[in-house]
A and B are shown apart, each in its own frame.
Chain A
Amino acid sequence: MNTIEKSTETAEAPSVPPAPDRLKDVVRRLLGTRRVIVGLAMLALLTVLAFVGPLISGWEVGRRDFSAMLEGPSFEHWMGTNRTGQDIFTQSTAGLQKSLLIGLLVALISTGVAALVGAFAGYFGKMTDKALMWVADLALVLPNFVILAILSEHFIGQGGWLVLVILLAAFSWMVTSKMVRGLTISLREREYIHAARFMGVPPHRIILRHILPNMSSLLIADATIMVSTAIIGETALSYFGLGVQPPDISLGMVIAAGSSFATTAPWMFVFPTVLLVLMVLAVNMIGDGLRDALDPHSTSRRS
């Protein structure tokens, strides 16, 4: 073919261009999307608010102002107080600290575990598949609420919330891992997976390099949903006193306390809820952008 002669010349003439860097490309594309910038900015602001808020409000976490119980927003208490005179702004921002950590960590851990377990089970099949899916089924049938209740005493004190994070993650990866397994089984028969295997790429590398990136849309969607699920799950636990243990405080606890006053004293409910909504929104925007940045088919980057 005459194209070969032609192109060998062009290849030799210029010095060899450098190898394109995939990671840099993704980051550049990620930062080029406005949604991601807005999402990242929102998340950064929330984080700043969570750590700075309790310091600037003039009230300490948990401290009660007995002169102002169940009062609306005022100069003294920016977002009002609750039934026992605690400052809503201080409580909510302090709670946001833990909720941010719990939400993001649980999402990361549970999606990560789900991806790995599902992909390994689906790719290797046979005994690996049976063993891993047996574990997943077991985790599904265990009464997680009871186990959390039994273990709730460990949530007290320094690092206690970390135990809670791990337990929450441990009970939320199974369904996703089953989806990942199903997808892996269909991806496994694709020709590019065969090609990688026939060139001697080791199985764990095939999973990380070919299989997981090709289901990144699913994984990212799962992780963003998991952020809000984890926060709400923690809220439910807190409602029964099984979640984050006092003196620690979470956004869930504040919302749970305020929910019964939603109509009579809306300030108790509105502010923490707005924080939660903003946080989930920010995570979703980042997730959306990440999905588009990783997906060469997405319309946003088609020229």
Chain B
Amino acid sequence: MSTDIIETTEVASDECAGEAPVLEVTDLTVTFPGRNGGPDVHAVRGVSYAVRRGEVLGIVGESGSGKSVSSMAAMGLLPDHAEVTGSVRLHGEEILGLDDRAMARKRGKVISMVFQDPLSGLTPVYTVGDQLAEAVLTHEPRTSRAQARARAVALLDLVGIPNAEQRYRSFPHEFSGGMRQRVMIAMAMANDPDVIICDEPTTALDVTIQAQILDLLRTARRETGAAIVMITHDLGVVAGFVDRVLVMYAGRPVETGGVDDIYYRSRMPYTMGLLGAVPRMDLDDQGALVPIEGTPPSLSNPPPGCPFAPRCPLVRPECEQTEPELLEIGDRPPGEEVRARSASASGARAPGADAAPQRVACLRSGEIAAQGWTAQDIYPVPDIPETSFSHTRRQDRREVLRVTDLVKHHALTRGAVFKRRVGTVYAVDGVDFDIREGETLALVGESGCGKSSTLMEIMGLERPQRGSVTVMGKDSSTLSRSDRFRLRREMQIVFQDPMSALDPRMTVFDIIAEPLRTHGRSPAETTRRVYELIALVGLDIEHATRFPAEFSGGQRQRIGIARALALEPRLLVLDEPVSALDVSIQAGVVNLLRELQARLGPAYLFVAHDLSVVRHIADRVAVMYLGRIVEIGDTRSVYSRPAHPYTQALLSAIPLPDPEKERARTHIVLEGDLPSPANPPSGCRFRTRCQKFLTLAETDRERCVSVEPRILAVNGEDQGAACHFAKRWGTD
């Protein structure tokens, strides 16, 4: 196990370099004893790190890699039955094993935490202001109530809550997710802590809000000078924010070093795979993503060797003998030596360890460094064939789906007995697009913009409230019952949440067979086709008799895809199919979708909020905002020359997994949250958050306020934007 502490790197600012670390974690292990005689779960197995004032450490890993548990252990927040060993020193003082009362004095005062879910982080029955004031009062009991209140208002103001004085009295449910996360950060900052641990603070948030929160965390670091430990599964998020990175796998650190070293000179196949799996928004043609096959090992019974060996493309026999230690690249003994030594031998400690920036737990790291391998070199990257449609011009292909002026309004009613209408939610308010054979249209936008409502309207095949939905040239409003049933064969859907998309009471076989049985295929044909589909999506035939609960998220999503493909539809609607998956799993599913499209040729309607995945999979993009499409066009044009200010902001908000580019970029950070779809602004709906609106002359603004823009062609190609001044922004 590694016991050495990661020392200063050149990235840490000079003034901090000489200081002792604020938080020092040494050889931390966490074991959860098995219940009912089950085996113990070794969640964390030897994590060491140290952070100094003003430094940001990123801890990166897939779900289940022990990254959250290790920080919970440092905070003393684990349940009593967890066995924690090692040492956690805060300002040199050992805090591991302190009783709860002593820890409570430290928590929130010296060390504080921001959790992933801002929903459950705040008590619903107290106002946010009182909760903030309580955080101050708990640690400074002599503060007067008025002072605490003033401090709370100042904090709310600092984290960018508008009208802090009034919002003090708001309850958590009156705040959006982003605002709640701001309050959580304010609470973490309340007592000027020296360490702030952020546990996936932006995972539950939209990309524009994520940019706001990351900005805010930078402010928090500046204001409090605190060290920040940033836990995340997304390498993109942290590239421009952290100074050092610690990559965790199966409860162990496998690579650590300065942010540039990790991103540009990664020497551990796992880190390389993670980086290769991230879809890049800034690259024109990335090729297939790098999928990491398999799943992380069980933490209750880890294999003796390197935990990553079963999934590693560079695996060698000696990898399975002993777990490699976290060593500097030059210090790695050659493979022969490892084979000669027995598994119990202790590793040679490198002399002068404090000058060591990058450490890797891989036997072949030296080789990787010498050869200069990248993820594409070591991982078998699938070759995705071209579609048969790629040589036909778009205009010549058949139309699979056309949506014209689609409208879906929900009535807001009040009263139990006599319902009266008190308002209307404009969920979908006039949407137009079309999809041709074999192409992928992506519908992107923040949550609440009406993407899913649009899908439900299309899939329902009922007469819409206004406008029309035409599938395969058939208008949905004129369909008879049997026509509609027949048309359902041509369009199928894959859902976002692999947990709830599959009936938990049915076996995989029955799930995939359901569409076939419904559409009257014979039992023999159904059986044959189901096994064919199981093989097609990369599952094993033995999986057929199991239940969905026995599968991982990525596998479940594959089952969902198999079910959708059963009837060979010509249109596949994908409702955020990868947003609930880990990056490495996501890459596999994205590759599968691309390959299936190339082989079977269905058109995709791909709904997503992640613009980097969209760039990777879509031919055309439609950006939605508050129930309307604001920009539509082919992916290349939209990403290279976004014409609508909202698209520009969305693209700018996405963090790149490239530290240098990320540091050089200036983000357009949108103000505030999405307005309520029950009460959209007049004229252009985006004007309330528009970054360009503020730069306009008074007369031009008048136009934005009063006239609703229509989609007009820009840039001469297949691209249109709903902005009065799109041409002006295009020439910037």
| A residues apposed to B, CB below 8 Å | 1-4, 7-8, 10-11, 14, 16-20, 22, 25, 190-192, 194-196, 198-201, 205, 209-210, 213-214, 216, 294-297
Contacts and interface: CB of A to CB of B under 8 A. Distances in A.
- Max chain B CB contacts within 10 Å: which of A8, A14, A195, A297? A195
A3 B555 CA distance: 13
B501 A191 contact: yes
Contacts of B536: 4, 7-8
B479 to A, nearest CB: 12
Contact of B507 (A20, A216, A294): A20
A20 B544 contact: yes
Nearest to B529: A16
Interface string B507-524: 101100111001100010
B505 A190 contact: no
Interface string B291-323: 101000000000000000000000000000000
Given A7-B538, A198-B493, A297-B549, A192 B500 contact: yes
Given A199-B514, A200-B518, A297-B549, A16 B505 contact: no
Contacts of B550: 296
A10 B543 CA distance: 13
Contact of A199 (B382, B518, B544, B592): B518
Given A19-B523, A20-B544, A296-B505, A194 B493 contact: yes
A11 B532 contact: yes
B94 interface: no
The secondary-structure label for the interface of chain B is: helix
13 contacts: A1-B291, A7-B534, A10-B541, A11-B534, A19-B523, A20-B507, A20-B545, A22-B507, A191-B495, A191-B497, A198-B459, A198-B491, A213-B505
Contacts of A18: 527
B492 interface: yes
- Max chain B CB contacts within 10 Å: which of A210, A296, A297? A296
Contacts of B504: 214, 296-297
Contact of B514 (A16, A191, A196): A196
B530 interface: yes
Contacts of A209: 514
Contacts of B526: 19
Interface string B533-559: 011111111001101011000000000
B37 to A, nearest CB: 13
A200 B592 contact: no
Contacts of A213: 503, 505-506
Contacts of B523: 19
A11 B538 contact: no
Given A1-B382, A296-B549, A191 B500 contact: yes
Nearest to B569: A199
A8 B504 CA distance: 27
A237 to B, nearest CB: 37
Given A7-B535, A190-B500, A214-B504, 6 more contacts: A19-B527, A25-B545, A199-B514, A199-B518, A200-B515, A296-B505
The 4 closest A-B pairs by CB, nearest first: A11-B535, A296-B547, A3-B538, A200-B488
The secondary-structure label for the interface of chain A is: helix
A11 B502 CA distance: 23
B495 A22 contact: no
Given A1-B382, A296-B504, A194 B495 contact: yes
A9 to B, nearest CB: 9
B503 A192 contact: yes
A294 B501 contact: no
A22 B505 CA distance: 10
A11 B531 contact: yes
B380 interface: yes
Contacts of B485: 200
Contacts of A199: 488, 492, 514-515, 518-519, 567
Given A3-B293, A200-B485, A210 B538 contact: no
Contact of B591 (A1, A19, A201): A1
A4 B506 CA distance: 25
A195 B538 CA distance: 21
B535 A2 contact: no
B588 interface: yes
A205 B560 CA distance: 20
A295 B504 CA distance: 9
Contact of B538 (A4, A194, A297): A4
Contact of A7 (B291, B484, B539, B591): B539
Given A4-B538, A11-B535, A18-B527, A201 B514 contact: yes
B399 interface: no
B165 interface: no
A36 B475 CA distance: 55
Interface in B379-403: 380, 382
A252 to B, nearest CB: 37
B563 interface: yes
Interface string B242-260: 0000000000000000000
A1 B595 contact: yes
Given A8-B536, A198-B459, A296-B549, A16 B501 contact: no
Nearest to A201: B518
Contacts of B81: none
A196 B563 CA distance: 10
B505 A294 contact: yes
Contact of A195 (B382, B495, B505): B495
B528 interface: yes
A25 B510 CA distance: 13
Given A3-B293, A16-B531, A192 B492 contact: no
Contacts of B540: 7, 10
Given A16-B528, A19-B513, A214 B382 contact: no
Contacts of A10: 535, 540-541
A195 B563 CA distance: 9
B519 A200 contact: yes
Nearest to B599: A4
A7 B497 CA distance: 25
A10 B532 CA distance: 10
Contacts of A205: 518
Contacts of B530: 19
A252 B504 CA distance: 41
- Max chain B CB contacts within 10 Å: which of A1, A192, A210, A214? A1
B531 A214 contact: no
Contacts of B382: 1-2
A296 B501 CA distance: 16
Nearest to B531: A16
- Max chain B CB contacts within 10 Å: which of A11, A191, A210, A216? A191
Contacts of A216: 505
Nearest to B533: A11
A210 B592 contact: no
A25 B544 CA distance: 13
B380 A2 contact: yes
Contacts of A7: 534-536, 538-540
B514 to A, nearest CB: 7
Contacts of A17: 531, 541, 544
A200 B380 CA distance: 40
Contacts of A19: 509, 513, 523, 526-527, 530
B554 to A, nearest CB: 11
Contacts of A200: 484-485, 488-489, 515, 518-519
Contacts of A20: 507, 509-510, 544-545
A218 to B, nearest CB: 13
B592 A192 contact: no
Nearest to A6: B538
A19 B526 CA distance: 9
B464 to A, nearest CB: 16
Contacts of B506: 22, 213
Contact of A22 (B460, B510, B537): B510
A7 B555 CA distance: 14
Interface in B353-393: 380, 382
